[in-house]
Amino acid sequence: MFIRIVKLTFKKENIASFEQLFEQTKHRIRNFEGCLFLELYRDKEKEGVFFTYSKWESPAHLEQYRKSDFFKQVWGQTKPLFREKAEAWSVDPVKTLT
| pLDDT tens profile 23-39 | 999 999 999 999 999 99
Output the DSSP codes for 9-45: EE-GGGHHHHHHHHHHHHHHHHTSTTEEEEEEEE-SS
- CB distance 7 to 52 below 8 Å: no
* Domain 2-91 CATH assignment equals 3.40.640.10: no
| pLDDT tens profile 35-70 | 999 999 999 999 999 999 999 999 999 999 999 999
User: So what's the pLDDT on residue 69?
Assistant: 97
Query: For the whole prediction, is pTM greater than 0.85?
Result: yes
